[in-house]
Structure 1
């Protein structure tokens, strides 16, 4: 007996002036054509894809539903609805895969429940490894430049003793994040290990990655 696939829709728009309704209607139509049952719909309206899971309540709620094994497949309009980084997307895909949940991306025509979709997922892994290597190279180069120039990482200490303690703590966290990233760890894992927000990790990594090479 064939079991109906339970599907969760994920909808996101970047600005409050946009609407998720077009995404919803199209994905509901896809589900109907495939005979899928839409059991939940998660939304992040007016939230940038660059934000981490801790700042996207819809995404966080969806991944909790995935962890509870309440869905068999996650459907989204496009890859950029889920995130802006190939590495971050692959991390999400791995989280889904660990729970036996597939992913459907409408614009890219990706369905990891099919053999061609699985092959595309493997290719994405190759490109994500390349992106991760490039990030590691830039982070290591930044650390080396800072050390060679005698520069202390983080915000400069100034003002009261309390200010200096805060600056010292920020410098320590800054260095730990960059070292963990250089070791190939993902942003979510780093945040959990250091007890800080994913957005903080993302900010530190972006600042270093954006710094000019010597």
Structure 2
């Protein structure tokens, strides 16, 4: 039975990020992060196998950051044992995203270290702090969900229509309503709109009977057109 490949415990990938074009151009933010991680590597005997930098990238989510994707690939393919950041917000400003990364690290057996907060999944203290933050992330998810539900309920109670805003010009809505009231079928109205190259509410080029029906229902739910061709 083949052994699972593991990286030497002292090998790390250093990840750096700056969030604005000015920081990316000046390099000041990157230099400070690099200096902090290099000093810690010298102190702890780490071998930095790669430096990965995302310049001018937002920390609101994990998406859209190619250097982070490369860093994660290195630890998950066991070319390094640990992913290191100088500050937690360089990795993510979202507790939910960070909690997801911790779960990913545990499941795929690599370590995660954030120097500013002392997070280190390989130590009891660091793992305890990470667990506290994971609990906070769960609380954050539930609070956001509760506020969203309460907000939608309040709008509904106030008579606010929920869903996508109407973006169809008034003259197009009037045309559809008039043709329907004149006895034109849904399919016939759709064919006419397509022939005249009238865009749909979402900017599409193709009308269907169901699309026409939705427009009619949004104006007068009791008004329907004949379903024949």
The two structures have a TM-score, normalised by structure 1, of: 0.69
Q: Against the structure 1 CA distance between its residues 66 and 142, is the aligned structure 2 distance closer, same or farther, given a 3 Å change threshold?
A: farther
Match of 1:143 among 123, 143, 152: 152
Structure 1 residue 16: Cα displacement: 2.6
Flag the structure with more relative contact order, 1 or 2, with Cα contacts below 8 A and sequence separation at least 6: 1
Structure 1 residue 103: Cα displacement: 1.3
Q: Write the mapping of 1:1-214 to structure 2, written as runs, cut at 5 A.
A: 3-18=8-23, 19=27, 20-50=30-60, 52-148=61-157, 149-159=159-169, 162-165=199-202
Indicate the RMSD between aligned Cα atoms, in angstroms.
2.3
Contact 2:72 2:83 in 1 (8 A): no
Contact 1:9 1:74 in 2 (8 A): yes
Which ranges in structure 2 are unaligned for 5 or more consecutive residues?
A: 1-7, 173-197, 205-229
The size of the alignment, in residue pairs, is 165
The two structures have a TM-score, normalised by structure 2, of: 0.65
Distance 1:69 1:4 in 2: 10
Structure 1 residue 166: Cα displacement: 5.0
The structure whose residues are more often helix, as a share, is 1
Structure 1 residue 138: Cα displacement: 1.4
Distance 1:166 1:146 in 2: 27
Contact 1:69 1:99 in 2 (8 A): no
Can you list the C-alpha shifts for 1:33-65, whole angstroms capped at 9, x where unaligned? 111111111111122212x33322212222232
Structure 1 residue 115: Cα displacement: 0.9
Structure 1 residue 165: Cα displacement: 4.1
Ranges of 4+ aligned residues in structure 1 off by more than 3 Å: 145-148, 159-163
Which ranges in structure 1 are unaligned for 5 or more consecutive residues?
A: 168-214
Match of 2:3 in 1: none
Q: Indicate the structure (1 or 2) with the bigger Cα radius of gyration.
A: 2
